[in-house]
Structure 1
């Protein structure tokens, strides 16, 4: 039997820093012994509202509010109608002054409730509209609605003719094979993203995948090659899923809100709230998690105002007069009418040249002039230089305009939905990147304009209109650039192009003029789009360097995989923490081409815990750099098990029927069966075992680099591939190697003839991304395979497995 080493982890009693959060989070007034399941977060007028599933024995839907996604206040029951008894996965959308709640009480069809407030009271406004659980609503740029819900093996979707009318459902083509639920759809840069959760809620392998469509919100989805985007089956948080994606308080960062499984409560599963940052590289969504140690709180904007006071104050400056005031410590108003003058309030502070701004507003009354309107101004330096985005209730459209150096540019107008209610709260969002401005109304993308204006103030204005203005903010980030100065969690993956802000000599040193690739960033870092669909740093020369902000989970040794490509010999890199050389010289071999990407590993690098700045230096030569992945290093110790003691202590059994019989480890299964051993931090090792196939069908063999294993057939699931790792196996017709990532990919096979009831000795050697598989002949491998894919597995446990077969194992050993 394997000797087990038990490591006790001491939990510090020191309180978390004031500006840090830690998953999982416990909120006030949760459903007792049920917690917070299926979290949904709505952002409205600068506030976040959280809704969760209702305990099966109770009526009502609870709601919490927050300004920062961390500090939540319980706001009571948003709904109390008996129809909400055991309300599953309530979600709320805002449209035209009304909040619509969609929920499936105890999974028995869907009902819609409505309210004029996000905290309720919500009242039932439809009968039972049917559909399965976990309803999700997406509003497209044209104001059309789609409804999504769970189905067996997939997510279905239906068009909606109004917020309370749902059409006929059809498959989106998205699913995990087994039960699939908890979809969330959002749009970014013209592409539709659907996140969704798979298998049973009580499974530790509950996880989140993502699919992307370029053709429409209800079809054309293609699953991402980085799935699962969120999973953990072992450790402090497991069973992660049913997520929401919401934009953070800095107006730029997306966050994934999800629950974890903490066991079976008195009534239903016990779950709690979790949150992790999403970053982007091109169109690829990357969840920086799951985390379970303290992380920096979401950043607030550079400027924001809730108008929660009695006077406008010094943060605003009046332009051209008007009658302005504060109402009820919740909004700013202007009510002078009868003139075509643009009455403005602009901020005292100015944005950077690139920024995102948000404005909330509604029309109380309009005058009789040619075009009464109200809206936002931005990039404002004076009356001769600014832009505006105005809403015209008379013309039913968004109207945009620039004045540059005193010269008026052309007006451009964009229609708003026919049922747009101008007397209700609406949101204008401006994204400025270089000379490009993107305009959104209530999250609907409406226009792109180009104008040569730069940094400036933001503000609000009216023309012959009485208007109210709510939460207003700007932040000096756009299109995901907040990732650059965010502290990336380690362990985790860091995109090379997410180096710090600060410019030459502070965030990077680049010896060439300008961005040679012309992609992604406007500073002097040389960036191109590569064949893996990611932006990478290119043209890296001797002496150049880039800095990265990181948040190291704990002090200790880590392994780093650098994803590099070069057609030249002699490239070298190293990593610094301040004046400390962490890695020494790391040689980067010629990979055979600038788009021939390979992982270059540096083992056992000591990192100190906490927020730090790491510098990647190109010492000599030239190589392109895509990303680096940090994983904890755990020494591999030589161990063996011949099962002569009659037990399998130290092994973790999953599916199938396992037993120790006559000193042999036996697995019998009409489906999958696996048992694992070791540490997920193991990297390079050799595992050997004797294998005897009893049945002629199916397969049996060894698992390597195993992480996140779960039971693939519990509670009605049917996933043969419920782990991440590689499987080297025998059949009567040969030896094969496959990759398991909660799906299956055959990598390589070698036709051979193997007999049942005969012992064969298999050896699998893993070194970096190379895998060699030997059978009987321990000198010449039957399979020699290098995984140069974007997501090779470089760390993990060992295991034994069989599928649809009775197989015996003996004399299992692991050596470094």
Structure 2
């Protein structure tokens, strides 16, 4: 039983200095090339874990090599090569090693030569790891998830989706089940990573083939558990890029970054393919922003962006003495040894407390503690975390009690202890091994995590801001990395510099409060969705997460942005309003880049549309975007910035002897036959710029054998399937729209690496007959003409997250097709 009694105050200043962390203002650029990477292989399948305040990165073993390499970092930007952490035979061509720390042991899971998994163990994150099992099977890309009740699960890759199995121990894996809703595009699906946040299981996975530029990351979620079916996200894919210098993005894993709050995704890109056909890959990091329960990846970025933020306070105890930055309550024997703070007084039930006296948290914060018992006394041995410390009569404790095997929490307010809450720790919990305690305070809600598992949630308005520290009673104990951040529950994303091009969640406006991050003319949150403690009106959005609501005349919101390059951009504003005269203006820093723009009524507050504001001139680098309401009222959800090419021109191609130089991507066996473009079987071909928005495309189409062919518009991210050369497997690998002729209809569909039919009109279209097609895209409206160039066969407005720009193209699906007399007018 944890006995809380009023203690005697004995504050003591101890000589020494505590170094405060840097601000994280420097810059990094994706992809990163780490020192001592595998030659001709790089760092594929990266995985990051954190232990005692330091991050460790592991990657797949080079082809025909044995061993796993490891790097460490305190900021996830500057990585130190730690050497080969394993040379065990089980790591021969080791696929996707992942490391889990549990109860004093580090467990590595890797698939030897892709033929099933082995478990290796070590007492250190840098090894040496040695195999403790034989081949346990379960395909490749094994990933361990530990639920809050300490149940273990093993996830792995499969042709029918992600597989999962319960684990009876860290070295024993049960039988697989196939997780419904996890197969990507009916193809091989790999690289699962499962994180649980606010009761939602978020499973990220990678699909297609590592040698395809269309390698991509999808998200699926559920609320029922790791072995239950998942629902694919309507945002998929959440990470994709197929053209340029950073392509083939995937095999991601997710972790909480240096600021203790912001999630990051780490993934590799396909840099090149060596002469033997093996991929050369490098590591990339991008932040994740949570809009309610909606996961949004702020990436990919491949230009200089600010470093991940560090905590507001951290201490690694890398010095000889404690220093004056700490104060003591109730005595004890304190010191520093081997980068640990220690206390070794036993024989008393007094709470010996050492708290950091130079930093006070904000009212909302996240704090991290690391501790272990070295030896215990006979009275009531306990170790724990101190938070919200104001003075000897006002603070909270989160205690690990090895005798009772439980977490014990309580608060003393005004010298009076509250009611102690006891929560069982996992069976076999060894308090003599280093354990991590994490405390999140948001408003009056406290969450207590032990070794990453949520063990207790409670509400108390009795403590606010305060200091942090460690506690020991009747114990000899070691205390490791200590840190605090004035960020909690995803608030760290607010001040992250969001990439442009990219999409920004409206609710991720800058911190700083009224007049700094935003201006709202009314008090209180009219929407009642208090995801932020301010007066901005926020409500649930039917498309997921939340949006800013009741945004009226004079209101404005600021967003930190990192612009890739000097240039012109189009902004797709996702909004809803019943007002007909709402006007907005967008600024970058102090420059108006749009003038006054009038938003059409959407006809209802839950009728969401995207309005494209064209021609924003933005300078490269780090800036602040401001969205201002000039007059009227509207709700808004996202800001989508695309690089733009708004110049007027006409381009033609009659395919006399060759394709013109304007065609810039091709998949399939395209050829010129008798002065006509020809594709036999499956293929697509694109022309122009991804910055084109509104245009008219025309072409003659003739089916030689079969007819399933047509014109693509607003095409982004085209790719081949399989190993990057299979037009059939990659037939749906693009984003955009397709106007397609078949023998019985003309149809319009939307392709987001997953086909959706938008509209169709019946008709009879024969092979060996020319049909003139015209597609006109203007704003969110698409008109499709066949034969009759006056009356469209299809007139469709896409208000469901439309693509606002992209190239044009030609496409056929299992049909020998000819095209001629092509033109595009922009």
Normalized against structure 1, the TM-score is what?
Answer: 0.96
Give the Å deviation of 1:712: 2.7
CA contact (8 A) 2:654 2:820 kept: yes
- 1:391 matched to 2:403? The reply is no
Cα distance between partner residues in 2 of 1:689 and 1:497? 43
- 1:352 matched to 2:352? The reply is no
Cα distance between partner residues in 1 of 2:725 and 2:746? 32
- 1:261 matched to 2:281? The reply is no
- 1:434 matched to 2:443? The reply is yes
- 1:188 matched to 2:197? The reply is yes
Q: What residue is the counterpart of 2:42 in the other structure?
A: 35
CA contact (8 A) 2:644 2:690 kept: no
Cα distance between partner residues in 2 of 1:21 and 1:655? 34
1:287-306 superposed matches below 5 A: 287-306=297-316
- 1:170 matched to 2:177? The reply is yes
- 1:131 matched to 2:141? The reply is no
Q: What residue is the counterpart of 1:7 in the other structure?
A: none
- Secondary structure at the residue paired with 1:539? strand
1:69-468 superposed matches below 5 A: 69-173=76-180, 174-176=182-184, 177-265=186-274, 268-328=278-338, 330-348=339-357, 349-369=359-379, 371-452=380-461, 453-468=463-478
1:57-68 superposed matches below 5 A: 57-68=64-75
CA contact (8 A) 1:184 1:244 kept: yes
The CA deviation string for residues 112-164 of structure 1, in whole angstroms up to 9 with x for no partner, is 10000000011110011112111111111111111111111411111110000
- 1:644 matched to 2:674? The reply is no
Give the Å deviation of 1:82: 2.1
- Secondary structure at the residue paired with 1:57? coil
Select 2:676's aligned residue among 664, 683, 691: 664
Give the Å deviation of 1:650: 3.6
Q: What residue is the counterpart of 2:573 in the other structure?
A: 562
- Secondary structure at the residue paired with 1:484? helix
Give the Å deviation of 1:44: 0.6
Give the Å deviation of 1:440: 0.6
The CA deviation string for residues 24-64 of structure 1, in whole angstroms up to 9 with x for no partner, is 11111111111111101111110011111111221111111
Cα distance between partner residues in 2 of 1:705 and 1:321? 70
1:575-614 superposed matches below 5 A: 575-614=586-625
The CA deviation string for residues 485-519 of structure 1, in whole angstroms up to 9 with x for no partner, is 11111111111111111121222111111222221
1:480-629 superposed matches below 5 A: 480-519=490-529, 520-629=531-640
Cα distance between partner residues in 2 of 1:396 and 1:82? 38
Give the Å deviation of 1:87: 0.9
CA contact (8 A) 2:56 2:71 kept: yes
CA contact (8 A) 1:402 1:451 kept: no
- Secondary structure at the residue paired with 1:83? helix
Cα distance between partner residues in 2 of 1:433 and 1:83? 45
- Secondary structure at the residue paired with 1:702? strand
Q: What residue is the counterpart of 1:695 in the other structure?
A: 705
Cα distance between partner residues in 2 of 1:647 and 1:725? 22
Cα distance between partner residues in 2 of 1:373 and 1:765? 72
CA contact (8 A) 1:543 1:618 kept: yes
Q: What residue is the counterpart of 1:786 in the other structure?
A: 797
Cα distance between partner residues in 1 of 2:391 and 2:643? 54
CA contact (8 A) 1:561 1:600 kept: yes
Give the Å deviation of 1:543: 1.0
Cα distance between partner residues in 2 of 1:338 and 1:464? 5
- 1:740 matched to 2:748? The reply is no
Give the Å deviation of 1:266: 5.3
Cα distance between partner residues in 1 of 2:577 and 2:25? 45
Cα distance between partner residues in 2 of 1:694 and 1:813? 22
Q: What residue is the counterpart of 1:800 in the other structure?
A: 810
Cα distance between partner residues in 2 of 1:220 and 1:647? 47
Give the Å deviation of 1:18: 7.6
Cα distance between partner residues in 1 of 2:415 and 2:535? 32
- 1:677 matched to 2:687? The reply is yes
Normalized against structure 2, the TM-score is what?
Answer: 0.94
Give the Å deviation of 1:804: 1.6
